[in-house]
Amino acid sequence: MSDFDIREFYGRYVDAINAHRWDQIGEFMADEILSHGQTVTREQGVAAFASITDAMPDYQVEVLKLTVSGDTVGSHAITRGTPAKEWLGVAPTGKAIEIDEVTVYRISDGRFTQMSNVWDIDALREQLHG
């Protein structure tokens, strides 16, 4: 995939996330994905996204910066949402949260084969606990 194709591919992926179209998210993932050193199936990856929006129905991703190098994509994004159910072991407070996130993806044969992200977990905990 060319740099342009990867950017367009990633844009469609984020659009599917923001529309909560989990039936489309699987189209972007390989059958198995290496995520944080563990192999997960496409179905497990889709279920992880669905669990976030189950807890945060207004979940959205705003990409601040996208970097492409060969088959690797780096994304700096802000994710936002308001937990309506318990999430990450914390009861909802009614307050919206923002997560500063950096994610690196590897693409092979037009699908994500690796995903790894880093969140500002201390800021997230502070927001979750209100």
Q: CA angle 72-54-50, nearest 5°?
A: 35
Under CATH, what is the fold of the domain 3-128? Nuclear Transport Factor 2; Chain: A, (3.10.450)
Predicted structure pTM score: 0.89
Segments making up each domain of the chain, as ranges? 3-128
Amino acid at 31: D
pLDDT in tens, the chain (130 residues): 676 699 999 999 999 999 999 889 999 999 999 999 999 999 999 999 899 999 999 999 999 999 999 999 999 999 999 999 988 888 888 899 999 999 999 999 999 999 999 988 788 888 888 6
